[in-house]
Chain A
């Protein structure tokens, strides 16, 4: 469960995220969309505790992120758009390191199981430089899932993936949500929202301009028309301009 209440993120006089509130229940997938510079990545970083909010409240499974960040972070996983890996650690060494950082009990069987599930078991002794982008992405996901997070944040999860990788990533997100995780993802790819997300939140200039289920948001911007695509809805909602 993610509860966000009136969060604001300012940089000097510039407000990147303004008074944003929403809730993501277990099993829900919230798609965060908006034009370039709308504040999607800033919002995700605030929710993952990477950057502090200027004001407002974020709770992760009921734990206040600002008051007890360590406990809150144990419940979440953040997946950046670019796989960020240590150059000199092999796939297995990455998993071992992550297990120690998160204090994962009985880690080795879990590591093997995850590597097999994500089809990188055979690459366990390879360095990141020897992996394709898709493989790196899988390793990041394996590291993120090792501590069985209840909350997940994906920043542009499909960037740089091939069609098979995209399919597997989508399946992975849906299966984790079905298993009870609360998921927030940001993406420019509107078809991803249609296939994966249960809810959508449209941001523009750091402010929420629409949120709800896909049907609710569609109904709001379709103006009674039938067969209005999500692309049209997005353009109508954002006014067809960047921030």
Chain B
């Protein structure tokens, strides 16, 4: 008992002093204007998004236009009506977790410890139980913070202080239970599979039992009254059915712990809340004791997890993909043959094209092209048989172009943003500053330009049906070829300029460090980037349009209208391109100067190199 108290005290001391020191260091940093601005921006954003609606007026349908009010069918529900649905969701999550453990059981279950915790606690004279106890207590901090965040996010509206407390504690109970069950089930499955002589048989038998249980539970749930309620579209009836199912149904015993765990969240009165939280604490205590008394070796796996996390952190800090440390890196082929003669900027393109191959994984493809594919499927669904292949190509390639233009510069970071950690090495190269900056940004420009030109080509190809529209298609392609490369370059010059001017911010973006001021700085940076790109594009747009109109009018005096449009487009796009090239040259010259003056010992944070 004495040891337990000591452990808890040690834990509280560690967390409390770490938290106080974190706050103090954050406050100290506020001496610098950039951090003050960042913090102010973050608080303004938080106020606007979360707090503004909490204590203020609730949006009232009476304030809406009459026509809109008439179109709304407003149905109100009390929170406790959702109890059954909440319990069923929690039950489903549990089944998914157990099913996943059976399908893919971990070879070793490692509890999550930080590098420092492993270094200090593992060699310390502590029992395994104490280490588990420490780990479970540590997880509570994340659970508490998550509970507050979830309350703020889902609890907008003027619901009052007390109800927000119910919600926060309700989230805490749910998240704590999920956390404890996740740890406990992992440890339990690992231990069981280690002990049984035929693990595969054990998994199959458990899996079958689980399937039978779920099958009967759902058969019981999906009965005739529910189907009638669904058919009638009455949400209240469905909610009532779910509540009755978990309270008086055949499987009420199975759903009892889940309904206990969600009761505090859905409470609206203090008496149900107090009673609910008391019951939930008992369930949590049972889960806690279950884990604490499991004698499972987790140390090796915890160490491996910590090392893996450290490797991922280091990779992300260096602007590289967060590769699992246990996965060996793949050798990528040369994109083209690089001779030792010629422009050195091409060497950067060659190098970054090798590294960019590692980023093209399924996740990126889904992020980049998922919206395009979804739009395509939506269009097919909406149009039925009327949609032909050409329209589909048009829709998909338009969305790809939009996604590339909007999020491309954020994803394609194989430039100074990722190479800023190699600054000392880059500075030893016998090259002018602008050459290095140009070399670094060529790769994302090349990839974005290729993607956009391909999309544009497909758009034009799929929408050109008549011979007379060939001129228009030619004009569009010509304009794209002239305008897209400089637009992409301008888009990428701005974040690279930010990396050189605010290297700490670029590095914090790479290593995903948090902090309220960093959130604010990122907001300012995004707004600044939008503002800068607009400022850079507007003169080119205006001048290009003026030249297009003039050239179109002039050419119209001598040629047919379609050809005059082509000439106008060429003149307008060419002028816009020249202006943008001028802006790019100016930007590169200035960034090159800034690169040459960059002092790694002053401009980069200590220990980053």
A residues bordering B, Cβ < 8 Å?
A: 11, 16, 42, 45, 48-52, 69-74, 76-78, 80, 84, 86-90, 93, 96-97, 99-108, 125-127, 129-130
A103 and B341 CA atoms in complex are apart in Å by 6
- Neighbouring B residues of A105 by C-beta, 8 Å: 340-341
Contacts A11-B601, A99-B340, A103-B344 supplied; 20 other A-B pairs, CB < 8 Å:
A16-B601, A50-B424, A51-B601, A69-B430, A70-B430, A72-B430, A73-B428, A73-B430, A80-B424, A87-B355, A88-B332, A89-B351, A93-B334, A93-B351, A96-B350, A100-B347, A101-B344, A101-B347, A101-B430, A105-B340
**What residue in chain B is nearest A102 (Cβ atoms)?**
B430
Q: Is B201 an interface residue (CB 8 A)?
A: no
A42 and B602 CA atoms in complex are apart in Å by 11
Contact A49 B338 (CB under 8 A): no
A96, A101, A125: the one contacting B331 at CB < 8 Å is A125
Contact B331 A90 (CB under 8 A): yes
- Neighbouring A residues of B597 by C-beta, 8 Å: 52
Question: When A73-B429, A87-B355, A88-B354 are in contact, do A100 and B338 touch as well, CB less than 8 Å?
Answer: yes
A77 and B329 CA atoms in complex are apart in Å by 29
For chains A and B in complex, what number of residue pairs have CB atoms within 8 angstroms? 102
**What residue in chain B is nearest A88 (Cβ atoms)?**
B355
**What residue in chain B is nearest A48 (Cβ atoms)?**
B428
Contact B355 A86 (CB under 8 A): yes
Residue in A11, A86, A99, A107 with the greatest tally of chain B CB atoms within 10 Å? A86
- Neighbouring A residues of B552 by C-beta, 8 Å: none
Q: Is B346 an interface residue (CB 8 A)?
A: yes
Q: Is B320 an interface residue (CB 8 A)?
A: yes
- Neighbouring A residues of B596 by C-beta, 8 Å: 69
**Hey, what's the 0/1 contact readout for B342-371 against A, CB within 8 Å counting as 1?**
101011001100110110000000000000
Q: Among residues 296 to 333 in chain B, which have CB atoms less than 8 Å away from a CB atom of chain A? A: 315, 318, 320, 328-329, 331-332
A97 and B600 CA atoms in complex are apart in Å by 23
Contact A49 B428 (CB under 8 A): yes
Q: Is B97 an interface residue (CB 8 A)?
A: no
Q: Is B78 an interface residue (CB 8 A)?
A: no
Q: Is B427 an interface residue (CB 8 A)?
A: yes
B residues bordering A, Cβ < 8 Å?
A: 315, 318, 320, 328-329, 331-332, 334, 338-342, 344, 346-347, 350-351, 354-355, 357-358, 422, 424-425, 427-432, 596-597, 599-602
**What residue in chain A is nearest B315 (Cβ atoms)?**
A87
**What residue in chain A is nearest B311 (Cβ atoms)?**
A129
- Neighbouring B residues of A48 by C-beta, 8 Å: 428
A72 and B344 CA atoms in complex are apart in Å by 17
A96 and B427 CA atoms in complex are apart in Å by 18
Question: When A51-B599, A104-B340 are in contact, do A88 and B329 touch as well, CB less than 8 Å?
Answer: yes
A78 and B320 CA atoms in complex are apart in Å by 24
- Neighbouring B residues of A86 by C-beta, 8 Å: 351, 355, 422
- Neighbouring B residues of A11 by C-beta, 8 Å: 601-602
Contact A88 B427 (CB under 8 A): no
- Which A-B residue pairs are the 5 nearest by beta carbons? A107-B340, A73-B430, A100-B347, A99-B340, A88-B355
How far is the CB of B609 from the nearest CB of chain A, in Å?
Answer: 8
**What residue in chain A is nearest B602 (Cβ atoms)?**
A11
A42, A50, A80, A97: the one contacting B338 at CB < 8 Å is A97
A219 and B347 CA atoms in complex are apart in Å by 51
**What residue in chain A is nearest B343 (Cβ atoms)?**
A100
9 contacts between A and B (CB under 8 A): A11-B601, A42-B601, A52-B597, A69-B596, A73-B429, A76-B428, A84-B425, A100-B338, A100-B347
A88 and B414 CA atoms in complex are apart in Å by 12
A1 and B429 CA atoms in complex are apart in Å by 19
How far is the CB of B87 from the nearest CB of chain A, in Å?
Answer: 48
How far is the CB of A41 from the nearest CB of chain B, in Å?
Answer: 9
How far is the CB of A154 from the nearest CB of chain B, in Å?
Answer: 13
